[in-house]
Amino acid sequence: MATIRKRRNKNWQAVVRFKGLKSQSKTFERKTDAVVWAKQIEAEMHRGSFVDTSESESVTIHDLIERYLGPLDMSNRTNRIAKSCCDMLAKELGKYSCARLSPSHIADYRDKRLKEVSPTTVNHGLSMLYKLLKLAQDEWGIPFPQGIPKVKKPKRPRGRNRRLEGDEEGLLLDELSDNQVMISVFIVAVETAMRRSEMATAQWQEIDWQRQILFLPKTKNGDTRTVPLSDRAIEALKATPNTGELIFGITANSMSQAFKRACERAGIEGLRFHDLRHEATSRLFEKGLNTMEVATITGHKTLSMLNRYTHLRAEDLVHRL
């Protein structure tokens, strides 16, 4: 039942009470507005379609972010990446309440970020936002009367498809001949499809020489992974100087810089260190391994991502026909 009363400040307060539901109240400057609102709320309560938005009105996106990040261990690389996304969301959208966040707010955020970073980075931010909103709705009991607001994600750019061509592998090995660590890094990269960060943190104690496997306790996505080592990879590792716990003893950035300088000396253009992961993934398929086998080695979570790293040459598939 609705009650309309005049306040001392001359505003009008509408109060709606309904058995089994929390009473609702709202203040208006005009009595007619209070009456219209009260009738609408009463009707929704009678139909069973009423949604109490008081919590979603009071909880901001910044509040959601703090609740989500609170229990996370920031020593985990995946969680640090998530925090980076959340920090940008808090900066641009944190002030809006869950009830007031609209598609236009998100679209403005998307368009502004597209002027600063790549579409892929923008998509990461939007995915994190939708994850927070869905978590709030499904697990934290925060309602979105109009549904979770969504916008169209920017189209991802076409992935790189650069592979080693011609005698580029031989040229690079020649340029790296005075650096055994980098020779080993290069060979292990093209033989295992390991990420640069994974090689930089790989330890001697994680190698099982007899079974020819390398255990990775911490990967980019936070999972563990066991990488099979080819005979060529084993030979490269055995030739690597053992100077401490880490197999290669250099940082991920040092690997990229040394590789870049070798490419420049060899006159190789358009090749990046990360392209070796594309090269290795493609070689695994060319050896006849199936999708699940390759994904197990590379650590790709989805078929779509694995596909972005696979670039098979038609001439290499002729013999399969």
Rounded to an integer, what distance in angstroms lies between the CA atom of residue 165 and that of residue 135? 47
- Work out the number of other CB atoms within 10 angstroms of the CB of residue 237: 22
Active site residue 109: no
Active-site option among 196, 277, 278, 283: 277
- Residue in this structure with the two tokens 């070796």, named with its chain if needed: 276
Active-site option among 113, 163, 283, 300: 300
Rounded to an integer, what distance in angstroms lies between the CA atom of residue 293 and that of residue 256? 28
Q: How many angstroms separate the most distant Cα atoms in the chain?
A: 89
Active site residue 7: no
Active site residue 220: yes
Active-site option among 68, 109, 278, 309: 309
Active-site option among 124, 274, 308, 311: 274
Active site residue 124: no
Active-site option among 110, 163, 195, 225: 195
Helix axes 119-138, 61-69, angle to 10 degrees: 90
Sheet containing 207-208: which strands, arranged edge to edge?
A: 207-208, 213-216, 225-228
Rounded to an integer, what distance in angstroms lies between the CA atom of residue 307 and that of residue 301? 11
Rounded to an integer, what distance in angstroms lies between the CA atom of residue 151 and that of residue 126? 9
Rounded to an integer, what distance in angstroms lies between the CA atom of residue 164 and that of residue 124? 29
Active site residue 195: yes
Active site residue 300: yes
Active-site option among 83, 220, 272, 311: 220
Query: Among residues 192, 182, 122, which one has the least CA distance to residue 151?
Result: 122
Q: Is the CB of residue 188 less than 8 Å from the CB of residue 180?
A: no
Name the residues annotated as catalytic. 195, 220, 274, 277, 300, 309
